[in-house]
Amino acid sequence: EAQVTQNPRYLITVTGKKLTVTCSQNMNHEYMSWYRQDPGLGLRQIYYSMNVEVTDKGDVPEGYKVSRKEKRNFPLILESPSPNQTSLYFCASRRTRGPYEQYFGPGTRLTVT
Amino acid sequence: AQRVTQPEKLLSVFKGAPVELKCNYSYSGSPELFWYVQYSRQRLQLLLRHISRESIKGFTADLNKGETSFHLKKPFAQEEDSAMYYCALIRHQGAQKLVFGQGTRLTINP
């Protein structure tokens, strides 16, 4: 089954404790990205990757890091989480040459206290 | 700059009534537009795209380049249509970014 998976689905952590949210896709998509979803603000892109070893900032990259060492994986790293990073996070993937349907992961609900 | 505007954050209609979720965009090139839906506690999924000119779950959307709109319509709402709906536009140049509107939460009342 074609899908995007994320882990963990729920995470409660404390300020400053480094964490990683994993994302994996099995569709051989070149493009992957991370979004955060907040009430009233919709979806905002954090980082994206056009292919292996190619990453770039989205709209709200501050406080986040990513890496793309393999085509299927695109982890999101919070080196020193803060309460304002409490949010619902989605990973997504798609082709770069169409069709441009974007597939989303199930989401990770992160709470930073 | 590319922008997608969904003027209604909340929309509530009764079952069986027509539904229209508004979406306006600004884009200098030839746009490719989508509607995504997110049911409660589920991931976002593609509902429809303008190039397919299809009808999914009774929903249709027509691209109006003159009015720069891509409104989503359904003639008779059903309770299972209650969800969050996002209009999105893809920018083909450069980073090929998918630009989302802020979303409209649709509630269908019985």
Give CA–CA dist A4/B46, Å, rounded: 14
Specify the higher pLDDT residue, A48 or B2. A48
Q: Which candidate from A40, A102, A106 shows the least CB-CB separation from B98?
A: A102
pLDDT at A103: 94
Measuring CA to CA, how many Å separate A50 from each of B31, B91, B98?
20, 14, 13
Which of B87, B97, B99, B105 to substitute to test the interface with A, most A CBs within 10 Å? B97
Question: Is there a contact between A50 and B44 if contact means CB atoms under 8 Å apart?
Answer: no
Among A20-34, B3-17, B18-32, B65-79, the minimum mean pLDDT is found in B18-32
pLDDT digits over A50-100, tens only? 999 999 999 999 999 999 999 999 999 999 999 999 999 999 999 888 778
pLDDT at B68: 92
Q: State the smallest CA–CA distance between residue A97 and chain B in angstroms.
A: 9
Give CA–CA dist A70/A67, Å, rounded: 9
pLDDT at A102: 92
Q: State the smallest CA–CA distance between residue B78 and chain A in angstroms.
A: 24
pLDDT digits over A28-57, tens only? 999 999 999 998 888 999 999 999 999 999
Question: Is there a contact between A45 and B96 if contact means CB atoms under 8 Å apart?
Answer: no
Strand partners, A110: A11, A87
Which of B96, B99, B102, B105 to substitute to test the interface with A, most A CBs within 10 Å? B96
Q: State the smallest CA–CA distance between residue B92 and chain A in angstroms.
A: 9
Give CA–CA dist B109/B22, Å, rounded: 19
Give CA–CA dist B31/A61, Å, rounded: 26
pLDDT digits over B55-66, tens only? 889 999 988 989
